[in-house]
């Protein structure tokens, strides 16, 4: 009987030691994960990925380098090149990379790397789909694809556009089947610096290209997607294309 009690006592001690070890291990793991999360947010942040007629343009904070990838028609991830630093001001950088020869890409994205080559952030090109990407990047029509938020200004080839506010968001909530998809309507200010013409216009996600002087403007996408949670005005990101009208 005494031996049985000794065996029980040893088992309790061993179990207690194991639980203390697991607790310490989990605590260490939690701390390490938290540090990685903070690092990811504070360094290598990409806040812009757009395209001009001949280049990708990437804007970052504290990135040592950037690399562009395509998710191909064959569902393979392929690197298509690294960006070249063209401007640095404070902790912000602007990089460009020449557009490659046409490729069949389902998606295009850029990664930001730290000085040791670790990937710290990823930012997707705002246009997705093989035909849409091809049409946007490899047509001969001069154009700009860019993303901006409420209060920001976009400039292209003598045209200045300011996104004043979101007038309507009647999109269907993600995960819900709706009879109509709804739309986004935005108020923009447009100024042609060459002609001096100015005006305020309402454009929506259901519209075809909107003609402003010699330019065609179209909303390509709006983020974030709509959920049951209210979206504040400063959370909206509107991606537009600006095309020089060749007619």
Structural domain of 116:
44-140
pTM of the complete model beyond 0.85:
no
> Domain for residue 1, yes or no?
no
Contact 169, 205 (CB under 8 A): no
Among 21-25, 27-31, 136-140, 203-207, which stretch is predicted with the lowest mean pLDDT?
27-31
Tally the domains of the chain. 2
- Decide if pLDDT at 126 tops 80: yes
169 and 72 share one domain: no
Task: Count CB-CB contacts under 10 A for residue 241.
Answer: 20
245 and 181 share one domain: yes
Sign of CA dihedral 146, 151, 154, 160: positive
> Domain for residue 95, yes or no?
yes
Contact 167, 185 (CB under 8 A): yes
- Please, which residues have CB within 8 angstroms of residue 18's CB and are 6 or more apart in sequence? none
> Domain for residue 14, yes or no?
no
> Domain for residue 74, yes or no?
yes
187 and 103 share one domain: no
pLDDT at residue 10 in the model: 45
Query: Can you tell me whether residue 135 is helix, strand or coil?
Result: helix
Report the CATH number that the domain containing residue 78 is assigned in CATH.
2.60.40
- Segment (H or E) for 3: helix 2-42
Report the CATH number that the domain containing residue 150 is assigned in CATH.
2.60.98
Cα distance between residue 192 and residue 188, in whole Å: 13
Cα distance between residue 197 and residue 213, in whole Å: 8
Peptide bond into 240 cis (omega under 30): no
> Domain for residue 10, yes or no?
no
Q: Which of these three, 105, 123, 140, is where a domain ends?
A: 140
123 and 157 share one domain: no
Task: Label the pairing between strands 215-223 and 237-244.
Answer: antiparallel
49 and 102 share one domain: yes
125 and 220 share one domain: no
- Taking only the tens place, the pLDDT of each residue in 149-172 is 999 999 888 889 999 999 999 999
Cα distance between residue 110 and residue 122, in whole Å: 6
198 and 109 share one domain: no
């Amino acid at each position: 009987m005494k031996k049985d009690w000794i065996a029980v006592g040893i088992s309790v001690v061993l179990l207690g030691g194991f639980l203390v070890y697991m607790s310490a291990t989990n605590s260490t793991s939690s701390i390490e994960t938290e540090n990685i999360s903070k690092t990811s947010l504070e360094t290598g942040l990409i806040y812009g990925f757009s395209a001009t007629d001949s280049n990708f343009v990437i804007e970052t904070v504290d990135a040592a380098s950037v690399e562009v990838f395509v998710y191909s028609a064959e569902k393979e991830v392929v690197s298509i090149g690294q960006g070249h630093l063209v401007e640095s001001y404070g902790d912000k950088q602007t990089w460009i990379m020449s557009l490659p020869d046409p490729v069949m890409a389902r998606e295009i994205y850029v990664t930001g790397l730290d000085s040791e080559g670790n990937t710290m952030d990823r930012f997707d090109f705002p246009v997705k789909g093989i035909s849409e990407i091809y049409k946007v990047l490899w047509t001969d029509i001069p154009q700009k694809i860019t993303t901006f938020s409420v209060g920001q200004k976009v400039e292209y080839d003598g045209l200045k556009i300011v996104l004043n506010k979101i007038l309507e968001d009647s999109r269907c909530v993600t995960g819900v089947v709706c009879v109509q998809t709804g739309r986004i309507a935005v108020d923009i200010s447009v100024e042609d610096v060459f002609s001096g013409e100015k005006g305020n216009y309402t454009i929506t996600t259901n519209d075809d290209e909107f003609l402003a002087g010699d330019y065609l403007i179209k909303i390509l996408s709006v983020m974030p997607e709509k959920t049951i949670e209210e979206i504040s005005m400063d959370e909206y990101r509107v991606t537009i294309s600006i095309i020089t009208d060749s007619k």
